[in-house]
Amino acid sequence: VVSLLEGGLLRSSSTFPYFFLVALEAGSPLRALLLLAFFPIVWILTHILQCRDADIRLYAFVTFAGLHDAAVRCVARAVLPKAFLDDVHRGVHRVFATCDRRYVVTSLPRVMVESFAKSFLETEHVLGSELHVTRGGWYTGLVRGIPRGRERYRAVKELNSPDIGIGSDSFAELCKKAYIVGDHDGDGEQAKISAPPLIFHDGRLVHRPTPLWALTILLWLPFAIPLAITRILLGICLPKRVALPVEHLLGVSVRVRGRLPPRIFQPSQRGVLFVLSHRTLLDPVFISFVMGQAVAAVTYSLSRVSELFSPIRTARLTRCKDRDARSMTRLLAQGHLAVCPEGTTCRQPCLLRFSALFAELTDTIVPVSLATTMPVFHGTSARGWKCLDFLFFFMNPAVRYEMEFLEQLPPDQTCGGGGRSSHDVANHVQRLIADAMGYQCTTLTRKDKYRALAGNDGIVT
């Protein structure tokens, strides 16, 4: 089977969102703004003046000129698959997936599509535009071989007459069966591609940036940054029992279920160990706000800037088991402690493998499930500047935290009281939190995430 990507496997024929994501993530906000400014010009050239390849050539030049191949391939691997999957046509994909040999034809540069097509659509080959690259790996922004019209016909002809062609009338002469996707055939549908599932993805934008949505974000920014700064300063300066109601007035809502552990009133009183599912770096902060008193947190990849602005006490983990255990034990002796045993955040409804160290420290363990809703910006990043994570989180017009305090582990399900191994306890707590959230347990780790998204092991120096 051979299928056209845009307007075939994808419900929309617009290429703007994917160029915009590359311009923003591999380039800069200024480059993305320039691309958005070119949109009206491209629309006039392609829809009124009928300049067939003007959109690809102009978008590619603005997006790629001066970018390095490594940065673009990283974005194509970490950011673009989520945008493509959000627009996959269910009916077309159902037909496409039934065939053993699959080919995709696209006018987009092949470097943008190949990782997604081979990993999630399991295609054998991608026929796309080619970008000119210097010997040093830098893009010039020039495009050649855009597969449209006769170019598309010749490219498909070399595939030895596929049985099925989808998305273009030029496939009719070359394939035994040809399907044309109507303008509204995929409205309201989204494909559920099962193999392999998307677990890790990166990028700051929550939704696929159509031109209108990109313009909306641009118009929101002058309000978003002052709002975020105000929210951050109030969270730092106000007492913890007062901060939450004030933040609620500014669009930060928190929904709490379950029974909270008792507050600590004596400095010598040993605290509770909160074991959290990890959604953002602010998870322990909101636990502290809900408890109405200081809750310390142990972190691994917290930036110096985030650490400086943190309204709660934080301690860095070193990946040295004995040293980390001593540090966490000392914090528990002084009060409540929050730990995220996944070691990193995950945006999908999955829980990564839990580190077992927490189970060896205390038997007073309270699992807490956390979920967040962010409408515009993601408050996490694997590739970007992590020091801006909290700023992007608070730049959303409204954010929502949902947390459920589960029952404290019974003594017979802990290491000390029940004689269980730390790994058994960690796996049990992971299942409890996953069941409460309706999430899936996985054995994936922080290293798996960073290898998939950033090409490294996520080691912080």
Closest CA to 434 of 356, 331, 357, 349: 349
Token duo for residue 76? 């194509």
Question: ω into residue 196 within 30 of 0, thus cis?
Answer: yes
Higher pLDDT: 37 or 197? It is 37
Q: Give the three-state DSSP class for 9.
A: coil
- Mean pLDDT, range 308-327, rounded to an integer: 87
pLDDT at 432 over 70: yes
Q: Which helix (H) or strand (E) holds 161?
A: none
Q: How confident is the model at residue 38 (pLDDT cuts 50, 70, 90)?
A: very high
Q: How confident is the model at residue 161 (pLDDT cuts 50, 70, 90)?
A: low
The pLDDT value given to residue 188 = 45
The pLDDT value given to residue 172 = 63
- Mean pLDDT, range 383-387, rounded to an integer: 85
Q: Rounded CA gap, 333 and 356, in Å? A: 20
The pLDDT value given to residue 37 = 97
> What are the pLDDT digits (tens) for 220-243?
999 999 999 999 999 999 998 899
Kindly state the percentage of the chain with pLDDT values over 70. 91
- Mean pLDDT, range 31-46, rounded to an integer: 96
- Mean pLDDT, range 79-100, rounded to an integer: 90
| C-alpha count within 13 angstroms, C-beta hemisphere, residue 197 | 9
Q: How confident is the model at residue 82 (pLDDT cuts 50, 70, 90)?
A: very high
pTM above 0.85, yes or no: yes
403 contacts 369 by C-beta, under 8 angstroms: yes
Please list the alpha-helical segments (H only) found in 79-174.
80-85, 90-97, 110-120, 150-157
The pLDDT value given to residue 455 = 82
Q: Rounded CA gap, 124 and 126, in Å? A: 7
The pLDDT value given to residue 176 = 72
Higher pLDDT: 362 or 170? It is 362
- Mean pLDDT, range 61-83, rounded to an integer: 96
DSSP string, 47-102: IIS--TTHHHHHHHHHHHTT-BHHHHHHHHHHTHHHHHHTTB-HHHHHHHHT-SS-
pLDDT at 192 over 70: no
Chain centroid to CA 156: 34
Closest CA to 193 of 295, 288, 81: 81
Tally DSSP H helices, then E strands, for the chain.
Answer: 17, 15
* Strand positions, DSSP E, 350-398: 350-351, 365-373
Is 3.40.50.1000 the CATH classification of the domain at 2-179? yes
Burial category of 408 from C-beta neighbours within 10 Å (exposed 0-12, middle 13-18, buried 19 and up): middle
Closest CA to 141 of 210, 220, 239, 62: 62
310 contacts 285 by C-beta, under 8 angstroms: yes
| CATH class given for the domain over 222-453 | alpha beta
101 contacts 2 by C-beta, under 8 angstroms: no
| 222-453 matches 2-179 in CATH topology | no
Token duo for residue 209? 């940036």
Q: At what angle do helices 446-453 and 69-78 cross, to 10 degrees?
A: 130
Q: Rounded CA gap, 61 and 84, in Å? A: 21
DSSP string, 244-310: HHHHHHTTEEEEEEEPPPPPP-STTS---EEEE--SSTTHHHHHHHHHTS--EEEESS--HHHHHH-
Q: How confident is the model at residue 101 (pLDDT cuts 50, 70, 90)?
A: confident
pLDDT at 57 over 90: yes
Instruction: Determine the residue type at 439.
Output: Y
The pLDDT value given to residue 308 = 80
- 3-state SS record for 385-430: CHHHHHHHHHCCCCEEEEEEECCCCCHHHCHHHHCCCHHHHHHHHH
Domain boundaries, the chain: 2-179, 222-453
Closest CA to 444 of 355, 328, 335, 381: 355
The pLDDT value given to residue 289 = 93
The overall average pLDDT reported for the chain is 89
